[in-house]
């Protein structure tokens, strides 16, 4: 994962210094005219990349690290309130660990590549942490719901488990993109733009 993130940071720094070497003129024109669409495309690419990482971690956790915990059911008060009486410790730990690793990688890649944010990194990390905690709780709950249902009906296997993980990772895009785009990884206005916007007010005085 460290190598994966390191490559993303190097590529982002190269883009800032020399421009994107893989873009032709038409592509550059499209990205400049449709900046918001291009940001969302990069967000989806980052999501797909980190999802592969997350699914790999999920498989390792579920079938190797936490394999012996499949018969250990725990009662989580929050899950009980949401309608799950018994949750497999194997499923809970799997979704919890894989989500932490996936979201950590996504934070760095989205900040550096997708939005090229210059917002205060400490504030961004705090806001991101709050969003991720809520999302991980949701993903852990939903993943446990799906896994419990698949197990109860005899449908649980490697492919259905990976499909469940993909579904669980996709749904939060509904709120994670707007939060990251407009709140967490917002980009400050350039100084020149700020000065121009203040000139009319000065003239009016």
Q: How far is CA 61 from CA 8, 98, 116, 144, in A?
A: 25, 8, 32, 14
State the pLDDT at residue 128. Answer: 94
Is the CB of residue 112 less than 8 Å from the CB of residue 185?
Answer: no
Distance CA 33, CA 28 (A): 9
State the pLDDT at residue 195. Answer: 45
Of the candidate ranges 28-42, 123-137, 185-199, the one whose mean pLDDT is the lowest: 185-199
- 78 versus 118: the higher-pLDDT residue is 118
State the pLDDT at residue 192. Answer: 46
Instruction: Decide if pLDDT at 182 tops 60.
Output: yes
Average pLDDT of every residue of the chain: 76
Most confident by average pLDDT, 89-93, 145-149, 175-179: 175-179
The mean pLDDT value for 46-66 works out to: 88
**What residues are paired with 74 via a beta bridge?**
87
State the pLDDT at residue 26. Answer: 63
State the pLDDT at residue 170. Answer: 85
Instruction: Decide if pLDDT at 131 tops 90.
Output: yes
The gap from C-alpha 200 to its chain's centroid, in whole angstroms, comes to 41
pLDDT band at 70 (very low <50, low <70, confident <90, very high): confident
29-67 per-residue burial string, b: 16 or more CB within 10 A, e: under 16: eebeeeeeeebeebbeebbebbbebbbebbbebbeeebe
Is the CB of residue 103 less than 8 Å from the CB of residue 172?
Answer: no
The mean pLDDT value for 170-175 works out to: 89
The mean pLDDT value for 184-195 works out to: 63
Instruction: Decide if pLDDT at 203 tops 80.
Output: no
């Amino acid at each position: 994962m460290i190598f994966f993130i390191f490559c993303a940071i190097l590529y982002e720094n190269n883009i800032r210094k020399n421009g994107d070497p893989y873009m032709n003129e038409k592509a550059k024109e499209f990205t400049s005219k449709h900046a918001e669409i291009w940001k969302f495309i990069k967000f989806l690419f980052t999501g797909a990349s980190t999802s592969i990482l997350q699914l790999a971690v999920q498989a390792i956790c579920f079938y190797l690290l936490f394999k012996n915990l499949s018969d250990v059911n725990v009662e989580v008060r929050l899950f009980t309130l949401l309608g799950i009486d018994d949750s497999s410790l194997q499923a809970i730990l799997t979704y919890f660990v894989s989500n932490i690793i996936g979201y950590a990688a996504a934070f760095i890649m989205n900040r550096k590549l997708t939005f090229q944010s210059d917002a205060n990194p400490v504030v961004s990390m705090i806001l991101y942490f709050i969003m991720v905690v809520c999302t991980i709780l949701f993903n852990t709950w939903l993943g446990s719901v799906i896994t419990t249902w698949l197990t109860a009906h005899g449908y649980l296997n490697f492919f259905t488990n990976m499909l469940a993980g993909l579904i669980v990772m996709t749904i939060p895009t509904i709120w994670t993109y707007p939060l990251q785009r407009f709140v967490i990884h917002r980009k400050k206005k350039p100084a020149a733009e700020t000065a121009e916007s203040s000139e009319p007010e000065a003239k009016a005085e």
